[in-house]
Amino acid sequence: MHKIDIKPISEDKFYQIDYKVMELAFAIHNEMGRFWDETIYKNELARRCREIGFEKVMTEAPVYACYDSFEKLHKIDLLINNSIVYELKTVRSLSEDHLKQALHYLFLLGLQHGKLVNFRPESVEYRFVSTRLTPERRFNYKIIDSEYQTFDNDSAWLKNLITNLLKEWGAFLDINLFYEAINHFRGGKEHVVKEITVACDSHILGEQSAHLLSPRTAFKISGVIRETENYEKHLRRFIKYTELKAIQWINFNHHEIVFKTILK
């Protein structure tokens, strides 16, 4: 997935390095203010990191997720000593989506420590990003497919592709990566995401975008950890108001990957 000589480090070493990096981040914010674009802060922080003697400082560090003809390039804002991921933001406030993005990068690189740094607020906002998941543990997943029906070639194809992607990439990655791979192998997003009619008691309410394997079969990939039964109820309510006959649901729940067919 990458051509970088990754060097995992201890938590103590991470804090030693991070202390110096954050000193520089606070200094930049104090001197330059909070209204610059992300690229400005990234380049200046990288420059100052090199000046104080960090042995390796990379901006836009390339990381690929590949399978067969599919290739997705990710660019890490700042990678220090091939050991720590820094994602720099200029947003109103950090969100859970930013945290998930940073974790996704850690998993792709096989690292366990990183940080989110937001330069837009009046004071620098930051969040530690860490995981105890080693690359080996990410591949220690279990597939549960007893309620999945391969009633057509498309449904069998979907299950086979997701299974192979997991073998190649492991679990815990951003589910959008799996959607992008499916779009690629089906000829592009325009061949997958289509409008379906929504009706109630023969009254047409409008159209809704859905990911389709065929005109009557949709698919859904989720990362639901809690209340999976409630999530399933809403999928069943969704299918009730469409002409779909089935939704093929794949849920990534930590180490359990559940394949389930929702029938009308």
Question: Is the domain of 226 the same as that of 191?
Answer: yes
**Best CA proximity match to 196, nearest among 162, 219, 172:** 219
Q: What CA–CA distance (Å, rounded) separates 202 from 33?
A: 59
Q: Strand order of the sheet with strand 142-147?
A: 142-147, 256-263, 246-253, 217-222, 203-214, 193-200
Question: Is the domain of 238 the same as that of 200?
Answer: yes
CATH of residue 108: 3.40.1350
Give residue 155's identity as a one-letter amino acid code: S
**Within a domain: residue 1?**
no
Q: Which two tokens stand for residue 160?
A: 């086979």
**Within a domain: residue 202?**
yes
pTM value > 0.85: yes
**Within a domain: residue 249?**
yes
Q: Which two tokens stand for residue 67?
A: 């399978």
**Within a domain: residue 78?**
yes
Domain boundary among 107, 132, 157: 132
Q: Which two tokens stand for residue 150?
A: 């391969």
The pLDDT, as a whole number, for residue 222 is 98
Range of the domain at 231: 139-263
Question: Is the domain of 193 the same as that of 219?
Answer: yes
Question: Is the domain of 259 the same as that of 143?
Answer: yes
DSSP H or E segment with residue 176: helix 175-185
- Number of domains composing the chain: 2
Q: What CA–CA distance (Å, rounded) separates 19 from 74?
A: 26
Give residue 185's identity as a one-letter amino acid code: F
Helix, coil or strand: residue 72: strand
Question: Is the domain of 19 the same as that of 92?
Answer: yes
**Within a domain: residue 190?**
yes
**Within a domain: residue 82?**
yes
The pLDDT, as a whole number, for residue 4 is 87
Question: Is the domain of 115 the same as that of 217?
Answer: no
Domain boundary among 132, 161, 192: 132
**Within a domain: residue 2?**
no
Question: Is the domain of 47 the same as that of 102?
Answer: yes
Question: Is the domain of 66 the same as that of 151?
Answer: no
Pair 239, 219: CB distance under 8 Å:
no
Question: Is the domain of 116 the same as that of 150?
Answer: no
**Within a domain: residue 206?**
yes
Question: Is the domain of 73 the same as that of 21?
Answer: yes
Question: Is the domain of 152 the same as that of 44?
Answer: no
Over the chain (264 residues), the average pLDDT of each successive run of 10 is 84 97 98 98 98 96 96 97 97 97 96 97 97 94 98 97 97 97 98 98 96 98 96 98 97 97 96
Domain boundary among 132, 161, 191: 132
Question: Is the domain of 175 the same as that of 253?
Answer: yes
